[in-house]
Amino acid sequence: MNIHEYQAKELLGRYGVAVLQGHVAWTAEEAAAAAAKLPGPVYVVKSQIHAGGRGAGRFANDPNGKGGVRVVKSVEDVKAAAEAMIGKVLVTKQTGEAGKLVSRVYVEDGCDIKRELYLGLLVDRDSSRVTVMASTEGGMEIEEVAEHHPEKILKVAIDPASGISAFHARKLAFGLGLTGKQVGSFTIVLTLYAAFLELDCAIVEINPLVVTGAGEIVALDAKVSFDDNALFRHKDLEGLRDDSEMDPKELDAVKNDLNYVALDGEIGCMVNGAGLAMATMDIIKLYGSSPANFLDVGGTANAARVTEAFRIITSDVNVKAILVNIFGGIAKCDMIANGIVEASKNLKLSVPLVVRLEGTNVELGKKILAESGLAIIPAENLADAAQKVVAAVKGA
Ligand code: ADP
Ligand code: MG
């Protein structure tokens, strides 16, 4: 789960990370009121979307082509900048051509920037450790630095048994060319690591982390992404979710506790178990078509879940046929078959439906499907199912 910059700053600020004063605003009037509460005389208006590259981004249909982060010098200009952003679509390197709708802005105190650094924490799958990355090349995308100047990225993998220590922070601080009291203030690394672990993060990225004219170290941007598999431990973070930033089908699936990923093919897949789902997608490809989604309904494929799954699959206009491939283990095939029959009737399915069942009570399950009076195409095995569903979309 991703959150907005202003939410990330609020959260990290609670841990003691130095951030500037700022307020979120949903209208231009609120933005002006927010600016009036700040010290000034320089203000920054920042579009809040779940994507980076806002500063260098462009608003769709904006002939002036100004970016999603603007530095201004009066409350009136804050209002004008907010007016130009809210309700508009911002296109950045990370959003793709479609861009993202800006529904709110963050009005922040202006910063006297002396140096822009990069500091990021992530789970490095190669070393199986939380790894801190730092670079003198702040402000630009770290992927670009990695490509053109890999030598400018410092990496420190943290041993989970001994944790992070002051020497890690000093090593990074010296590597970044920090001196004097900035080396001492680089305990920000320790703070971020503590927050990363406690909040079960996947990514914490401060880009840029700046050294101000007064020599302070401040987080000027903040990206925090949580590990979805650990969210159940953090009910208090639930309120930070912004549904409008997600694919509506994927959001629907999250709410129904289904593992769904939208893809761009034409065959909707409903499978139980991630491994079987992957195999199903592969075999659809093998027989010459492509999957419209990955969907693992999990171990409890009952009528209610099957109905939800069908509803999500068929809300995708690209779906031309559905393949159900379910192995009845704990969930018995007769129960699953009843679920499929009930769901197809309720939703009045209009695309061909191929069903392959295997496992406990499979004969009973097949009988239920055969006697349902519905145009369900039964399949004997995985290859048979894939061939039949591909034939159905090709109109054979
Ligand atoms: P993004 O990464 O999405 O482009 P940032 O928050 O990193 O957005 O902002 C882009 C750039 O705008 C920063 O690299 C910095 O130079 C400038 N900037 C951001 N916030 C402030 C601020 N409060 N004061 C001055 N400049 C800022
Ligand atoms: Mg940034």
Provide the CATH number for the domain around residue 25: 3.30.1490.20
> Has residue 238 been placed in a domain?
no
- 175: CATH: 3.30.470.20
Q: Kindly state whether residues 200 and 252 are assigned to the same domain.
A: no
Residue 118 phi/psi, 5° resolution?
-120, 135
Task: Give me the pLDDT at residue 174, please.
Answer: 95
Q: Among 49, 58, 69, say which to mutate for ligand 1: greatest number of ligand atoms within 8 Å of CB.
A: 69
Q: Among 92, 220, 224, say which to mutate for ligand 1: greatest number of ligand atoms within 8 Å of CB.
A: 220
pTM of the model as a whole: 0.79
Ligand 1 centroid to Cα of residue 148, in Å, is 22
Task: Give me the pLDDT at residue 245, please.
Answer: 86
d(CA 18, CA 21): 10
Q: 186-209: b or e for each residue (b if 16 or more CB lie within 10 Å)? A: bebbbbbbebbeebbbbebbbbbb
Name which of 342, 343, 323, 227 is nearest 282 in CA terms: 323
Task: Give me the pLDDT at residue 73, please.
Answer: 97
> Has residue 78 been placed in a domain?
yes
Return the active site residues: 118, 205
Ligand 1 pocket member 53 (CB < 6 A): yes
> Has residue 3 been placed in a domain?
no
Ligand 1 pocket member 205 (CB < 6 A): no
Smallest CA separation from ligand 1 atom 5, residue: 221
- 291: CATH: 3.40.50.261
Q: Kindly state whether residues 251 and 363 are assigned to the same domain.
A: yes
Task: Give me the pLDDT at residue 396, please.
Answer: 56
Q: Kindly state whether residues 389 and 251 are assigned to the same domain.
A: yes
Taking the CA of residue 22 as reference, the ligand 1 atom at the shortest distance is: 23
Considering 63, 86, 109, which residue would you say is the last residue of a domain?
Answer: 109
> Has residue 12 been placed in a domain?
no
Q: Kindly state whether residues 267 and 347 are assigned to the same domain.
A: yes
Considering 179, 208, 233, which residue would you say is the last residue of a domain?
Answer: 233
Q: Kindly state whether residues 270 and 303 are assigned to the same domain.
A: yes
Taking the CA of residue 207 as reference, the ligand 1 atom at the shortest distance is: 7
Q: Kindly state whether residues 66 and 184 are assigned to the same domain.
A: no
Residue 221 phi/psi, 5° resolution?
-135, 155
Ligand 1 pocket member 40 (CB < 6 A): no
Task: Give me the pLDDT at residue 148, please.
Answer: 92
Domain count within the chain: 3
Ligand 1 centroid to Cα of residue 55, in Å, is 6
Ligand 2 centroid to Cα of residue 46, in Å, is 11
Q: Kindly state whether residues 316 and 335 are assigned to the same domain.
A: yes
Smallest CA separation from ligand 1 atom 26, residue: 111
> Has residue 1 been placed in a domain?
no
Q: Kindly state whether residues 366 and 265 are assigned to the same domain.
A: yes
Nearest ligand to the C-alpha atom of residue 47: 1
Find all residues with CB under 8 Å of 67, minimum gap 6, and list them. 54, 55, 56, 57, 58
Chain centroid to CA 311: how far? Answer: 23
Q: Kindly state whether residues 71 and 143 are assigned to the same domain.
A: no
Ligand 2 centroid to Cα of residue 339, in Å, is 48
Report the helix count and the strand count for the chain, using DSSP H and E. Answer: 13, 19
d(CA 291, CA 267): 5
Ligand 1 pocket member 137 (CB < 6 A): no
Task: Pull the structure tokens for residue 180.
Answer: 């004097």
Q: β-strands 100-101, 105-109: how paired?
A: unpaired
> Has residue 281 been placed in a domain?
yes
Smallest CA separation from ligand 1 atom 13, residue: 139
Ligand 1 pocket member 110 (CB < 6 A): yes
Ligand 1 pocket member 54 (CB < 6 A): yes
Task: Pull the structure tokens for residue 261.
Answer: 């990923």
Going residue by residue through the chain, which has 396 residues, state the pLDDT in tens, using 9 for 90 and above.
999 999 999 999 999 999 999 999 999 999 999 999 999 899 999 999 999 999 999 998 777 768 999 999 999 999 999 999 999 999 999 988 889 999 999 999 999 999 999 999 999 999 999 999 999 999 888 889 989 999 999 999 999 999 999 999 999 999 999 998 889 889 999 999 999 999 999 999 999 999 999 999 999 999 999 998 899 999 999 899 888 888 788 888 888 888 899 898 999 999 988 999 999 999 999 999 999 999 998 766 677 888 889 999 999 999 999 999 999 887 789 988 998 999 898 888 889 999 999 999 999 999 999 999 999 999 999 999 999 999 999 975
Task: Pull the structure tokens for residue 203.
Answer: 């990514």
Torsion over CA: 68, 69, 75, 76 (sign): negative
Ligand 1 centroid to Cα of residue 220, in Å, is 6
d(CA 90, CA 99): 5
> Has residue 227 been placed in a domain?
yes
Nearest ligand to the C-alpha atom of residue 55: 1
Considering 89, 109, 129, which residue would you say is the last residue of a domain?
Answer: 109
Q: Kindly state whether residues 202 and 220 are assigned to the same domain.
A: yes
Task: Pull the structure tokens for residue 45.
Answer: 């208006």
Ligand 1 pocket member 69 (CB < 6 A): yes
Domain region containing 124 = 113-233
CA atoms within 13 A on the CB side of 328: 22
Ligand 1 pocket member 19 (CB < 6 A): no
Q: Kindly state whether residues 172 and 138 are assigned to the same domain.
A: yes
Q: Kindly state whether residues 224 and 296 are assigned to the same domain.
A: no
CA atoms within 13 A on the CB side of 75: 10
